[in-house]
Amino acid sequence: MKLSTPRWWYVREGAPAPVMRALLKPVSWIWAAVTARRIARARPVDPGAPVICVGNLTVGGAGKTPVVRELLRRLPGAHGLSRGYGGSEAGPLRVDPDQHVAAQVGDEPLMMARDAPIWVARDRAAGASAAVAAGARVIVMDDGHQNPSLKKALSLVVVDGETRDGVWPLGDGSVFPAGPLREPLAVGLARADAVVLMLPADLAEPDPDLVRALAGKPLLVARLEPAAPPPPGPQVGFAGIAMPWKVERALKAAGCELADFIPFPDHFAYDAAALNLLEQRAELFEAGLVTTEKDWVRLPPAWRAKAAAWPVRAVFEDEAALARLLAPFT
C-alpha cells in the first residue's frame, strides 16, 4: 500500500502532529545512522564513464526528474540510470517505451525513455557498466545522492523552492519518517557539488531564508515551466506524485480551467476503481482529464487517449553557470 506524503512534514516551526513527530524521532535517528554508516563503508566503483548524480535531500517531490531530463538533453552520448522504483525488473535493463510498462521498469524511467537511453538497475554499478558497454559517454544517475556505489564526477541536489502558504521544503529539520529529510541537511549538503533550487513557474524569487539555509554550495535557480499549455476547456486534473497539490497549483497558474482535482498517493497504480472515479468526475463536470507525464505512463495503454499528459521542463535562470558545470562532460 502506498501512502500519501504527510503535509505536516513541510512546516518549519510550530508544526502540527507533535505527538506523531515525537514517536517517530527514534526511528529517524536510526534511519540517519544507517544511511551514514552505509555511505562511510562504501567503496565507489568507476564504471568507465563520468557519472553525474541528480539527487534529493528530501523524500521526493523536489523536481529532480525534470533536471535529469534536461541534462540528458544537453549532454551528447548521455544515458540515464535509475533504480526503477515501483518496477519489478531488477535489471540491468535498457527501457523500451514501446515494450515495457511502468509496473516493470517504474514510471520515471518509462517517461524519460521517450527522450533518451535509460537503464534501470537495482545494482547501480551493474547498470552503469551495462550503459558504458552500450556506448554511454556520460551517465546521469537519477536519485542517487544517498547511493554510494558509484564514483561521481558531479553531484547535484535538487531542493524544492516552494515556500508560500507556510510551506517549508526542509520541514523542521527532521529526518524521515519524522520529517522529509533523507539525512541531516548539513551531511547531505557536504557531499554535493552544487544545489539546484527548483521554483514553481509563478514564484518570482526564491525565499532568502531558504537560500541562506543552502549556503556554502554553488546555487543554480531553475523553474518548472510548462513545456506546452494545458488543454483547453474545463478539465479534471489528477496526480499521484509526492506532492500532488503542487500539480493542482501549477495547472491553475498556467491558466487551466480546472473544474476538479483528484490527488492520489505517489507512484499510484491506476486500477479500475480509480479510473472509474476519474471518468465519473469528468462526466459530472463535462470536462477533459489532465495529468502529469509521469502519471500518464502509469495509465493502462488503452486508457491513455482519455487523458492529456501535461509536460513541464526545468528552465535554468543562469544558463552560463549551468554550462560551466557541464563543460567537462560535453
| pLDDT score, position 4 | 61
Inside any domain, residue 300: yes
Inside any domain, residue 1: no
Residues 62, 183: one domain? yes
Residues 218, 269: one domain? no
Inside any domain, residue 253: yes
| pLDDT score, position 22 | 83
**Number of domains within the chain:** 2
- Grid coordinates representing 200? 514553481
| pLDDT score, position 324 | 95
Residues 266, 158: one domain? no
Q: Can you list the residues of the chain whose pLDDT is less than 50?
A: 1-2
Residues 68, 162: one domain? yes
Tell me the residue range of the domain where 63 lies: 51-225+314-329
Are residues 38 and 144 in contact, defined by beta-carbon separation less than 8 angstroms? no
Residues 61, 185: one domain? yes
Residues 319, 255: one domain? no
Inside any domain, residue 93: yes
Inside any domain, residue 246: yes
Residues 210, 110: one domain? yes
Inside any domain, residue 2: no
pLDDT digits (tens, 9 = 90+) for 306-317: 999 999 999 999
Inside any domain, residue 5: no
Q: What is the CATH number of the domain that holds 104?
A: 3.40.50
Residues 179, 254: one domain? no
Residues 180, 270: one domain? no
Residues 150, 260: one domain? no
Residues 177, 194: one domain? yes
| pLDDT score, position 1 | 39
Residues 64, 179: one domain? yes
